[in-house]
């Protein structure tokens, strides 16, 4: 059983959802990003996603776009992403995923990226814009190197599309809580619970819900119907506009960790 699968299974045995945190590599700096990701794991996250900053992040809202821009202007490269994975995993032993648009992976080289990600201790890759129909070359290399392939599904997906996507993926299915881009929201969209229920009808993979999960109450709400709760934009904010930095990040993460554990038992 892979560390990713075991982590999700352990959370389920504990009667709770897993907390998955997301931050872009190189934000606010490469070293600062490594420290921040480690801090979220130390503060109660079970799994982290390391984002590959992209100049055209079509699924990301203004908060993550700003963080990506800071990282890109700082000169972040794929080598820095892999270093981030290596150091965070080595320091914590917890599963570290990469979340990337397809273009950077394709340009770097599919086999090279999969091999180097596995060598760095990575658990797999979340690929939000890679169509299942075009994913065979990646999935082949990912399987060869023991990496999970996580696809993203939206509330607009048909039941047939959900089944096809879930069948192609491994690790878990990333269920987008809403239509649109990432970002904080004042409430959890009702479509999130419906999508989780629809996915459970077609797959045994864990269903992890992200996009728009902002505070501890929302994390607790999503934990009531999902196997994992994914938080990103809310954790970027402490490093923007005079925020509290690492201390603020740790506090926000621990509150969300408490939220997902509210349903334990």
- 110 C-beta neighbours (distance < 10 Å), count: 17
In degrees rounded to 5, what are phi and psi of residue 21? Answer: -105, 150
Q: State the DSSP H helix or E strand holding residue 24, giving kind and residue range, or none if neither.
A: strand 18-24
How many Å apart are CA 199 and CA 264, to the nearest integer? 22
Given 46, 60, 68, 87, the catalytic residue: 60
Contacts of residue 214, defined as CB under 8 A and 6 or more positions apart, other chains included, come to 184, 185, 186, 231, 233, 234
Active site residue 60: yes
Q: Which residue among the candidates 6, 14, 49, 129 is catalytic per the annotation?
A: 49
Is residue 46 within 8 A of residue 18, CB to CB? The reply is yes
Instruction: Let me know if 250 is a catalytic residue.
Output: no
Region at 211 (left for phi over 0; alpha for psi -120 to 50; beta for the rest): left
How many Å apart are CA 119 and CA 143, to the nearest integer?
14
Which residues carry out catalysis? 49, 60
């Amino acid at each position: 059983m892979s560390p990713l699968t075991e982590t999700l299974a352990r959370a389920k045995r504990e009667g709770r959802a897993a907390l998955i945190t997301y931050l872009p590599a190189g934000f606010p700096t490469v070293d600062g990003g490594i420290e921040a990701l480690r801090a979220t794991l130390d503060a109660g996250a079970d799994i982290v996603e390391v984002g590959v900053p992209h100049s055209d992040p079509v699924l990301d809202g203004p908060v993550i776009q700003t963080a990506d821009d800071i990282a890109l202007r700082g000169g972040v490269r794929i080598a820095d992403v892999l270093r981030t994975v290596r150091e965070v995993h080595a320091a914590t032993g917890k599963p570290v995923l990469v979340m990337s648009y397809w273009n950077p992976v394709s340009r770097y080289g599919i086999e090279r990226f999969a091999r180097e990600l596995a060598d760095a201790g990575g658990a797999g890759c979340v690929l939000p814009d890679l169509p299942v129909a075009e994913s065979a070359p990646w999935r082949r290399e990912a399987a060869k190197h023991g990496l999970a392939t996580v696809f993203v599904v939206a509330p607009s997906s048909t039941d047939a599309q959900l089944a096809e996507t879930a069948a192609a993926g491994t690790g878990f299915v990333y269920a987008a809580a809403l239509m649109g881009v990432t970002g904080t929201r004042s409430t959890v969209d009702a479509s999130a619970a419906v999508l989780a229920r629809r996915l459970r009808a077609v797959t045994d993979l864990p269903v992890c819900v992200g996009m728009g999960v902002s505070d501890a109450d929302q994390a607790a709400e999503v934990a009531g119907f999902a196997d994992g709760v994914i938080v990103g934009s809310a954790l970027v904010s402490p490093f923007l506009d005079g925020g509290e930095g690492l201390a603020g990040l740790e506090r926000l993460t621990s509150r969300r960790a408490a939220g997902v554990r509210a349903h334990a038992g």
